[in-house]
Structure 1
C-alpha cells in the first residue's frame, strides 16, 4: 500500500534535519485518497518504509507500524481542499521568527512566485488540531499560496511532489531570512502585481524544454 510513497518519505525525511530543530518537522506525500507521512516523535533516519504510516483523507491510519505525525489534521485539511501532492511542515528559524511576530512574508523578491505572491500568516491555534488546520487552509486558499506561516509556530509548504515541497520550504525560509535582515537596514521594497505577473510568465518557460 503506497509502497513508492512510503519509500519517498524515508528518503526525504532526513532533509528535515536541516530545516527544523529536533523532531519538530513532518512531511507527507499523497496518492489518491491516502497519504504516507512521517511517524511522530521519531528521528528522521530512525524508521524504514514498513514503519511509515498510511493515512486516509479522513485521518484514519490504515497501514504502517508507527503512529503518524501529530499534525495529521493539517495534512488532511490541506489535501482535502488544496491541489497538493506533498506537504512539508517545519519550525525553521527565519519563518518561525515571522511566525512569532504574527507577520506574513510580502513580495520582496521575485522568487516568492515559486509559492505565490505572498506567504500569508494563519492565526494561532494549538498544534495538531482541526482549528489549526482550518486557519491554515483558509489563508492558503485566500492568498492562492503554496505556503503559510503559522503564528507562534512555524511554516507549512506544499508541492506537486516531495522534492518540490521541500524546495518550496527552502525558498520561503531563505526569503524570510533576507526580508528580516533587510528590515534591519531600512524598509524593504515590495514588488508590484505587474512585476510579479511578469515573473510568473517567465517561469512558464523556465528550465529545460522537452526533447
Structure 2
C-alpha cells in the first residue's frame, strides 16, 4: 500500500534547519507536491511530562535519569509513528523538524547507539530520507547568539558543548548513511541539494 514519503531534518541548534525546511517546502509545493510539515515536539502529547523530567535532569544530572528521558523521547516517537504519520495523505511528503538524533539525544552519558536501539525496539518509523544539517560549530553558535531567543537549549550552554554536539552529528551521519547537508553557503544551495535527494528517493521503490 502506498504511504507518504517521510523525511527528517536534524542537526545542532543554529544550523538553519527551520529556514531550510521552509525553503524546501516552498520548492516542493512549487513542483505541485503535497507537503505536510510536522514538528516532533508539537506532535508529542507527552511533551510536558518529558520536559519536566528534562528540567530535573538539568538540575541533577545522572545516568539513570538521562536513560529515562531518552526512553520517554523514544516512546513519544513511537506514539507519533502509530498515531500521526499513518493519518497523513498517502501521496504526501512529510517533513519533520527533528526525529531521533535531536540534540537531546546526544547526551553526556548515554551513547547515541543506545538511543537508536531504544527507538528501533519501539518500532519508531525510520525516515525514508534522513538529512543531517550541520555547519562549523562556531558558525551555528554565532547564528544562535544573534537570535532573539538565543540558543534555546536546555543542554548546550558553552561553545565546547556545541562543538561536541556537532561532531556527534557528523559521526552519526557517516555511520548510518544519512545525507549530510553543510548549510554554510546560500540557503538556495542547501535547498537544491536536499530537494535533489528527495527527488531521487521519490523514484526508488518503497515498501
TM-score (norm 2): 0.24
Higher relative CO (Cα under 8 Å, sequence separation at least 6) belongs to: 2
TM-score (norm 1): 0.24
Give 1 or 2: higher helix fraction: 2
